Amino acid sequence: MANYKATGLILKTRDFGESDRIVTILDPDLGKLEAVARGARRTRSRLGGPCQPFSHNQFLLWQGRSLDGIIQCEVLDSFAPLRDDLFKLAAASYIAELVDEVVREKDPSPEVFGLTLGTFRWLAEVDAAPGPVTHVLRAFEVRLLTLVGLGPSLDSCATCGVPVESWADQRAGQAGTLAFSAAAGGIVCPACRAAPVQDGEGADP
Ligand SMILES: [Zn+2]
């Protein structure tokens, strides 16, 4: 069967057989794929070092009937800081787990790939302290949820659905007034904002 190339991030690895490792790779164009790194757990394996979680690698793979395999692996960025610090390791593991959840096998999502790569770079650079690491995580979560269509509504009213562009016609004098409502799940238009609120949950901060 044909060999093929991939360039992607390793989301996770797990032991397989006596000395192999199964690697989950996120490639921007191929999507998520699994491949076996034969002998990767042997001390002198050429695949062992590069086939670690979060590493950004170029791969040459063989296509198998049920499972593909890694022939060669070249590290573009090992993202070692994400494995060397406990806060960052926990954060990167959480990011990889979320991405693994939302991206399906062989269903490419270049946007999610780009977000994950960018977040790994950001996480590698921030101070290894809970504050900065948490900040990276929150920003990642909002962007990921937006990419998969679960983010806050920011281009139309979260309550009535009127697009932001037409808000100017709605109420002269109040045009451009933005109010964010966590309860409504996004921004709300002046009319909805002015409407009586229920249960004491208002759009106004
Ligand atoms: Zn509205």
Rounded to the nearest 10 degrees, the angle between the axes of helix 110-125 and helix 86-102 is 170
Looking at residues 178-204, what average pLDDT do you find? 70
Say yes or no: 68 and 117 in one domain: no
| Shared-domain flag, residues 23 and 71 | yes
Lowest mean pLDDT among 16-30, 132-146, 151-165, 166-180: 166-180
CA of 149 to the centre of ligand 1 (A): 20
**Domain span including residue 50:** 3-77
CATH number at residue 61: 2.40.50.140
Residues 11 and 73 in one domain: yes
Which residue type does 17 have? G
- 65-99 per-position pLDDT tens digit: 999 999 999 999 999 999 999 999 999 999 999 99
In a shared domain, residues 143 and 171: no
Helix (H) or strand (E) holding 58: strand 56-62
Residue that wins the pLDDT comparison between 34 and 200 = 34
Distance 118 CA to ligand 1 centre (A): 34
| 71 and 21 fall within a common domain | yes
pLDDT at residue 54 in the model: 98
Q: Which residues pair with 10 in a beta bridge?
A: 25
**Cα 86 to ligand 1 centre (Å):** 45
Distance 146 CA to ligand 1 centre (A): 20
pLDDT category, 134, cuts 50, 70, 90? very high
- Integer Cα distance of 53 and 19 in angstroms: 17
**What pLDDT is recorded for position 173?**
52
Using the 3D structure, point to which of 55, 77, 99 is the last residue of a domain.
Answer: 77
Query: Is 80 exceeded by the pLDDT of residue 133?
Result: yes
Identify whether residues 91 and 50 lie together within a single domain. no
State mean pLDDT over 128-140: 93
Say what percent of the chain tops pLDDT 90: 66
Give the relative orientation of helices 130-147 and 110-125 as an angle to the nearest 10 degrees.
170
Say whether 187 sits in a helix, a strand or coil.
strand
Take residue 103 and report the two structure tokens written for it: 């991206």
Q: How far is the CA of 160 from the centre of ligand 1 (A)?
A: 4
Quote the ligand 1 centre to 190 CA distance (angstroms): 7
Give residue 21's pLDDT: 97
Q: How confident is the model at residue 148 (pLDDT cuts 50, 70, 90)?
A: confident
Are residue 36 and residue 99 in the same domain, yes or no? no
> Within this chain, do residues 86 and 46 fall inside the same structural domain, yes or no?
no
Interface confidence, given as ipTM, is 0.93
Residue 197 CA, ligand 1 centroid: distance in Å: 12
Region of poorest pLDDT, from 42-56, 79-93, 116-130, 169-183: 169-183
Strand extents, DSSP E, the chain: 3-16, 20-27, 31-37, 56-62, 68-77, 179-181, 186-188
In a shared domain, residues 138 and 165: no
- How many domains does the chain fold into? 3
| Confidence check: pLDDT of 183 > 50 | yes
Ligand 1 center–CA 193 separation, angstroms: 7
User: At which of 99, 124, 147 does a domain end?
Assistant: 147
Judge if 182 and 123 occupy the same domain. Answer: no
